[in-house]
Amino acid sequence: MVDNILEIKNINKHFPIKSFKGYGRFVHAMDDVSFELRKGEVLAIVGESGSGKTTTANVIAGLYEPTSGDIYFEGKKMGKKMNRKNELAYRKKVQMIFQDPFSSLNPTHTIFSILERPFIIHGLVSGKKNLRLEISKLLELVGLEPAEQYIDKFPHELSGGQRQRVNIARTFSVSPDLILADEPTSMLDVSIRMSIMNMMLDYRDRQGISYIYITHDLAGARYMSDKIAVMYAGMLMEIGSAEDVINSTFHPYTRLLKSAAPSPEEGLNRSKLTTKGDIPSLINPPSGCRFHPRCPFYKEECSMNIPEIKEIKKGHFARCIL
């Protein structure tokens, strides 16, 4: 299992509700989520809002502590409380790109002072001159050329796409082994999304790093990733190679996502959605399979027990009784 960079096992994350009315109850943001990720692999986590995909990224990034379950990074089990040295070492290896390029850069800092931080925290480069050199290289790496034109600017002087490039540069700065990308292109204009995605893929090809790419766009997930995991209401519904999940879709929810995704080729002749309704409340999730109230193939036993996740064919798992 050495070539697994990350393995998470039966992770639960429940947030306590603070209000008086909901006291003692929990938001079930993640329930029994397990998957593994090989070195150099890209895993896309696909789901609607409230499916727990962002929580998953935050748990792996160490921003939230899981309620239960284990995280193995490079074969080593991560302790609940890390000392500063181990924490820094982990944070150097695992970096996160946030969704909103407008709020993820501090408006009062210049690009230089934003990008120098990772070097300083991890003691990689010292001296203003060296830092400037490294940051210039970094900016050119993410396509902000000439670097001199951007290095002393404030975030508000850049466009959304340029800011997201700065964000990505920040994660590249420490040469991480795993990058968690939380919908990095969803707030950008269509025309620049592809270049950001391509840049991330190129970097992966060169450095052999892994990504966890979180998105709600199934087509984008297929473009970016080797493996796709589909989450619904805090649970993993289907996971497998990108082609298997898209082309031999198993779980009814994945089928729903697939039929809802815009697809210009199909035009108006497409089949209609068979499913209605909304994502269930995570405070009081449905019994049994979380998807059963909306499922077109609903059987009585679906509401009794949570179905086990099982292997349909090699490397393709689904949580469904079908």
| Neighbouring residues of 157: CB distance < 8 A, sequence distance ≥ 6 | none
Please, what is the minimum distance in Å from the beta carbon of residue 237 to another protein? 13
Please, what is the minimum distance in Å from the beta carbon of residue 273 to another protein? 6
Q: Nearer to another protein by C-beta: 136 or 171?
A: 171
Phi-psi region of 281 (alpha: psi -120 to 50; beta: other; left: phi over 0): beta
Residue closest to 47 by CA, chosen among 203, 217, 212, 169: 217
Among 279, 306, 312, 321, binds another protein (CB under 8 A): 279
| Residue 161 interacts with another protein (CB under 8 A): yes or no | yes
| Residue 283 interacts with another protein (CB under 8 A): yes or no | no
Q: Nearer to another protein by C-beta: 297 or 311?
A: 297
Rg of the chain over all Cα atoms, to the nearest angstrom? 21
Q: What is the strand order of the sheet 26-38 is part of?
A: 26-38, 4-16, 68-73, 76-77
Residue closest to 91 by CA, chosen among 56, 52, 116, 63: 63
Q: Length of the chain in residues, anyone?
A: 322
Stretch binding another protein (CB under 8 A), from 123-131, 185-193, 205-213, 302-310: 185-193
Stretch 235-254 residues interacting with another protein (CB under 8 A) = 246
Q: Nearer to another protein by C-beta: 284 or 305?
A: 284
Among 1, 267, 300, 314, binds another protein (CB under 8 A): 267
| Residue 80 interacts with another protein (CB under 8 A): yes or no | no
Query: How far is Cα 263 from Cα 217, in angstroms, rounded to an integer?
Result: 11
Stretch 93-152 residues interacting with another protein (CB under 8 A) = 95-96, 98-100, 103-109, 117-118, 121-122
| Residue 204 interacts with another protein (CB under 8 A): yes or no | no
Whole-Å CA distances, 103 to 149, 187, 221, 252:
22, 11, 24, 36
Whole-Å CA distances, 157 to 107, 151, 163:
10, 11, 9
Residue closest to 270 by CA, chosen among 280, 281, 259: 259
Among 26, 72, 223, 298, binds another protein (CB under 8 A): 223
| Residue 275 interacts with another protein (CB under 8 A): yes or no | yes
Stretch 8-47 residues interacting with another protein (CB under 8 A) = none
Query: How far is Cα 61 from Cα 180, in angstroms, rounded to an integer?
Result: 8
Q: Nearer to another protein by C-beta: 117 or 310?
A: 117
DSSP 8-class letter at 78: P
Residue with tokens 């449905």: 286
Q: How far is CA 70 from the centre of its chain?
A: 18
Size of the site for another protein (CB under 8 A): 69
| Residue 170 interacts with another protein (CB under 8 A): yes or no | yes
Stretch binding another protein (CB under 8 A), from 9-17, 145-153, 272-280, 312-320: 272-280
Stretch binding another protein (CB under 8 A), from 1-9, 61-69, 295-303, 306-314: 61-69
| Residue 306 interacts with another protein (CB under 8 A): yes or no | no
* Rounded (5°) CA angle 28-91-82: 75
Please, what is the minimum distance in Å from the beta carbon of residue 2 to another protein? 26
Residues that bind another protein (CB under 8 A): 48-49, 61-63, 87-88, 91-92, 95-96, 98-100, 103-109, 117-118, 121-122, 154, 159-162, 167, 170, 189-195, 197-198, 216-220, 222-223, 246, 256-268, 270, 272-273, 275-276, 278-279
